[in-house]
Amino acid sequence: MQPTDRHSLHVLITGGAGFIGTNLAAYLLANTDSLITLYDNLSRPGVTLNLAWLKTLDDSRRLRFVHGDVLDASRLHQAARTADEIYHLAAPSEGPDLLTQPRLDFDVNVTGTGNVLEAAHRSGRKPMVLFASTGKVYGALDSIPIRHDATRLQPVDPAFRGVSEATRVDFHCPYACTKSLADKHVREYAPRYDLPTVVFRLGCIAGPGQFGNQGQGWVAHFVYSALSGRPVTIYGDGLQVRDVLHVADLVSAVNAARAYIGVTTGKAFNIGGGLHRSIAVKEMLRLIEETCHVPVQSTCEPARPGDQLLYVSDHSRFTIQTGWTPCRSLEQTVRDIAAFWHANRNRVTPESLPFRKRPFRRAA
């Protein structure tokens, strides 16, 4: 029998005021009686508004905020000493170019993740640690033969179901290298220290409450730009393909990993929308036009270094082991982002996003 969602636990979320952390915390406040600690250095623009919105949901005063950096090992240890579950979502605030801040990437992704693991280990409580990694650990994926169609790149192999965990990890740029190191470090703590750890290699996550700049949240960036009459920039020919997962489906995957920790511990899983929720950049622009009933203006720039031409998550391993599958369509994801924009249109910018209780709760 699957464990109930209602449990008296202490949950620690690093990067807890960010997009995914905020959605996860909102779910926990609404569906569990957990004590929740958000650990964040508030370096991303607008996250203070996320925090303020979450506090409006905290009727029972179960939410605690610690202003701290994952590089501060002592402060992190204090925050984690009573934790039963740790969701390590903190990440550097990278721009649209993955090559901009290699030193920061190393410090946050490698040293910061090591600090989280040590804090979990030293607590003696053996908390579950779930780490948000990335599909970029697989590199450029040049080994996947592709062909050009009129609207998108397509895999040559008709049996292609996405990138699986069996795909070779490739250190193709500093950012991916640091994520790969952290990914491996997290998994090694399971057998060595008997610590239940899980790695999610995430594809594109989208949904209401996202900042929507070019480097983080490209789908939201496109939707907000279209609705406000601003042009979007397409890097490359726009035929590159990504799968898109609604953030509420990601929260569901987190719950599945926790519920089946006996089989998920020590493993890495590709988590994304999968083949049925894959879309090319130019196709996404058309979907936004059809869903939001507005024209989308665009300009073109050369392709960015480190970009994958085609990335689709094969989440079948996680689905088989936990029963999890995505539920929300691409259209619903776009609609939810648009609804959020309409509810907050006077204040939604790439620099800051507030939250209003009703539309965010309804969508998440």
> Looking at the annotation, which residues are catalytic?
175
Count how many Cα atoms sit within 13 Å of the Cα of residue 82 in the half-sphere of its side chain.
7
**Alpha carbon distances (Å) from 271 to 52, 135, 212, 265:** 29, 9, 21, 15
Pair of tokens at residue 123? 């607590």
How far is residue 136's CA from residue 99's CA, in Å, rounded to a whole number?
13
Give Cα 49 to chain centroid, integer Å.
19
How far is residue 231's CA from residue 124's CA, in Å, rounded to a whole number?
52
Nearest to 58 by CA among 23, 26, 80: 26
Pairing of strands 278-280, 241-246: antiparallel
- Round the CA-based radius of gyration of the chain to a whole number and report it: 19
- Please count the other Cβ atoms lying within 10 Å of the Cβ belonging to residue 59: 8
**Alpha carbon distances (Å) from 239 to 53, 97, 242, 281, 309:** 37, 19, 10, 6, 8
CA angle 132, 269, 261 (to 5 degrees): 85
Give Cα 226 to chain centroid, integer Å.
23
CA angle 322, 178, 20 (to 5 degrees): 45
What dihedral do alpha carbons 275, 276, 277, 283 form, nearest 10°?
90
Q: Name the packing angle between helices 19-31 and 47-57 (round to 10°).
A: 0
SS (H, E, C) 284-329: HHHHHHHHHCCCCCEEEECCCCCCCCEECECCHHHHHHHCCCCCCC
